[in-house]
Structure formats: C-alpha cells, structure tokens
Amino acid sequence: MQPRDLSAHVAYEAGRGVGEVARELGLDEETLIKLSSNENAFGPSPKAVEAVKAHAPMVHTYPKSSAADLRERLADRLSVDSGQIWLANGGDGALDYLSRAMLRPGEEVLVPTPGFAYYGMSARYHHGSVNEYPIEKADGFTQSVDGILEHYSDERIVYLTSPHNPTGSEVSVADVETIAEETAEETLVVIDEAYGEFSASPSAVPLVRERDDIAVIRTFSKAHGLAGLRLGYAVVSDAWADAYARVNTPFAASEIACRAGLAALDDASHVERTVETAAWAREYIYENLECQTWESAGNFVLCEVDNGSEITAAAQREGVIVRDTTSFGLPECIRITCGTREETKRAVEVLNGLL
C-alpha cells in the first residue's frame, strides 16, 4: 500500500527553531536570537496569554461560541458579515479552505516566485497544478500588474502577497482591483496580507465588499504573536461565503486559539509596539547592514550577502539565527526578521562581522 503519487509535492521548509539550533550547536537556548521565522519579537500579547490560561479548564468542550464571537468581532472591524470570515488553522489553513472551495481537479493556480511555498503546496494537495510569475530582482522585486498578467493564462486562482514574503514589496489596492478586473470572471484573486499590520498601505478588504472574485488572507501569527496557536482567516465575498460550511474541517480553530485571538484583538498597544519596533528595525537594518537591502513593508528585510547558506550557518554559530532564502530561490540572500532593538543591533553587528 502506498500513498498517491506525491512526487510533485515538497515538504515545507520552516525557519529553524531555537531549540533545534541550540541542541545542534551546544548553545544555551536563552542566548540565541531567533530572527528566522518572522515571529513577533515581543511574544504574544499578555492579554492573550491570560485568555489561554483562563480558558484552559474549558478545553473539554468544542469551540462553538468562541469561534462565533471571534468571527463577529473580526467582521465588525472589517465591516463585513461574520459569514465572510473563514476562520482556520493559521493563514495556511485558510489557504487550504480556498483551495478546497475553488479548485476542480487539474485546475491551475498562479503563484509568485520567489514566494510563499504554501500556495503551490495547497493547490497540489487539492489536485491542482501550479504556474509561476516572477518577481524580479532586476526590477527591485516590485510587483507590477503587467509583470503578473503577462504570465496569466486563465488560472483558477492568482495569489498576490502584500507585503510580499520574502522581498517586502507591496501591491496597491488599485493594482489588486485591476488584476481582478483583467482576469477571467472565474479567476479568484487571493491577496495574502499576513504582514498587513506592518504596512502603512491600506488593506484590500474593502474590495471584498464589492467584488466576488477577491479574497484576503490574514493571520494572528505575525503582528499578534500567536504563531504557535495556529489562527488565521480568509475574508471572502458574501456571494459564496456559505461554502465555508461545506469545506471547513469541523472546529477549524481551537477554543484556546479563538479565546486568545479575541483577547489579542483587544490589545491594540501590543500590536502598536510590535509594528513601531519593526519599522525602527527595518530602518536600522537598511542603514547599518553593510550589504544591499530592499525596502520592506513587513517585519523582515531581505539582504544580499553572496552566499546565504554560508552566512546563515556562520551567524548561527554566533547565536544569531536568520533565514537562508535558498528555498525561496534566492541563494544569494538572507531574510532577517525584525527583532527587538537589542536583538536587531546584535544581529547587524554579527552579520557585519561576517560580510
């Protein structure tokens, strides 16, 4: 007995965990600076931590009212109906739900390269196939309507990432709308705003109120610091929002995740501090790291270092973990997550010593 042909599938390569690296290098976990997975430098909101503790005694029940409350709360904030919020096990789970709801076997999707690996993975799991559009270093990794549409051939889903991981570039709301306008009626444009909170640009969510061919992905993993809880959502059109009931894994987001999510939404100052510090760190990296960097709207900066895997390994030996972007198709680069002021300064010092 064997699984189906999985030869086209690849394993997701996550940034390395501190525990892993500490064990391998025989270093103390506490002294490591982990800037490889775009996690929140300040940890979760203390309010979310309280909520996790407070609701621990209730985890024998299925998450019903908490999920309903969270969908309501998010819908209120975004001025959509709660049915338009598809809660999921992380933003990745929300990508899966869109694949489940949209893809017929053999249909194609269009993904950015370099880009977030999970778009293509999710499409393949759902019996789709994957085409790519390039985001070119030669163009400063800008994302242009023409550059994307040039590669479009009636795919069922077109993925846009803004701010884009790992380059940090953005797609304007006007450009998202143009792409939706220029693509077929049966093409869904998914705009992934996993790092939306870090950007000064407006969200594409208002477009979802007017059009049925755009969906927005958001997550609690980054600005809210809840990556370990796995909580994200899609904001979808009212026209087909009810498909959620047919495609979602029952109780898609856990009781604890929903409670923590509700509490995190109430902690505006945690998000504010996170976003402000990331903005400071980006500037610090552009100004002080002795190599080419690209302007980023996320909580990370892409940097050109010649040999990403060597620099990453050398920095790790000095206790600084950054992301080698070889798996993104950029072996000459690394991606540095914005840390606290202290962590960011130390990372820049270590990297400058190696460059």
Ligand X SMILES: *Cc1c(COP(=O)(O)O)cnc(C)c1O
* d(C-alpha 124, C-alpha 131), whole Å: 11
110 makes contact with ligand X (CB under 6 A): no
Binding of ligand X at residue 261 (CB under 6 A)? no
DSSP character at residue 206: H
CB atoms within 10 A of CB 231: 30
- Going by C-alpha positions, the residue among 35, 40, 72 that lies closest to residue 219 is 40
Residue closer to ligand X (CB basis): 63 or 232: 232
- Binding-site size for ligand X (CB under 6 A) equals 14
CB of 323 to ligand X, least distance (A): 11
**The token pair that represents 39 in the structure block:** 């996690």
Strands of 214-219's sheet in order across = 85-88, 232-235, 214-219, 188-192, 157-161, 108-113, 129-134
Which is closer to ligand X, CB of 43 or CB of 353? 43
Token pair in block for residue 241 = 């929002």
- Taking the complex as a whole, the smallest distance from the CB of residue 26 to ligand X amounts, in Å, to 30
Distance CA 264, CA 105 (A): 38
Instruction: Work out whether 225 is an interface residue with ligand X (CB under 6 A).
Output: no
Is 148 a binder of ligand X (CB under 6 A)?
Answer: no
Q: How far is the CB of 200 from ligand X (least distance, A)?
A: 18
227 touching ligand X, by CB under 6 A: yes
Nearest approach in angstroms of CB 219 to ligand X is: 3
- Judged by CB, which is closer to ligand X: 285, or 350? 285
Applying CB under 6 A, which part among 129-137, 215-223, 260-268, 331-339 lies near ligand X?
A: 215-223
- Please report whether residue 165 would count as binding ligand X according to CB under 6 A: yes
Binding-site member from 45, 122, 143, 161 for ligand X (CB under 6 A): 161
Helix axes 341-354, 308-317, angle to 10 degrees: 120
Phi then psi dihedrals of residue 47, to 5 deg: -65, -35
Single residue of 116, 159, 284, 294 touching ligand X by CB under 6 A: 116
Closest to 350 in 3D by CA, of 259, 270, 289, 308: 289
Rounded to the nearest whole angstrom, what is the least distance from the CB of residue 237 to ligand X in the complex? 20
Among 232, 261, 308, 339, binds ligand X (CB under 6 A): 232
Spell out the residues 6+ positions from residue 71 whose beta carbon is closer than 8 angstroms to its own.
82, 83, 85, 87
CA dihedral of residues 289, 301, 224, 122 (deg, nearest 10) = -150
According to CB under 6 A, which residues from 72 to 101 bind ligand X? 90-92
CB 121 within 8 A of CB 12: yes
Question: Least distance in Å: CB of 318 to ligand X?
Answer: 26
Residue 56 per-residue DSSP state? G
Can residue 158 be called a binding residue for ligand X (CB under 6 A)?
no
Q: How far apart are CA 176 and CA 188, in angstroms?
A: 11
Binding of ligand X at residue 194 (CB under 6 A)?
yes
Site for ligand X in 27-66 (CB under 6 A): 38
219 counts as binding ligand X under rule CB under 6 A = yes
Q: Least distance (Å) from ligand X to the CB of residue 248? A: 15
Is 299 one of the binding residues for ligand X (CB under 6 A)?
A: no
Tell me if 183 contacts ligand X by CB under 6 A: no
Considering beta carbons, is residue 169 or 221 the nearer one to ligand X? 221
Strands 320-324 and 33-35: parallel
Sequence-separated (6 or more) residues with CB below 8 Å from residue 74 = 82, 85, 233, 265
Instruction: Calculate ∠ Cα 335-94-298, nearest 5°.
Output: 25
**What's the closest the beta carbon of residue 120 comes to ligand X, in angstroms?**
12
Least Å from the CB of residue 352 to ligand X: 26
Q: Is 122 in the site for ligand X (CB under 6 A)?
A: no
Q: How far is the CB of 261 from ligand X (least distance, A)?
A: 11
Which parts of 15-64 fold into alpha helices (H)?
A: 18-25, 46-55
Binding site for ligand X (CB under 6 A): 38, 90-92, 116, 161, 165, 192, 194, 219, 221-222, 227, 232
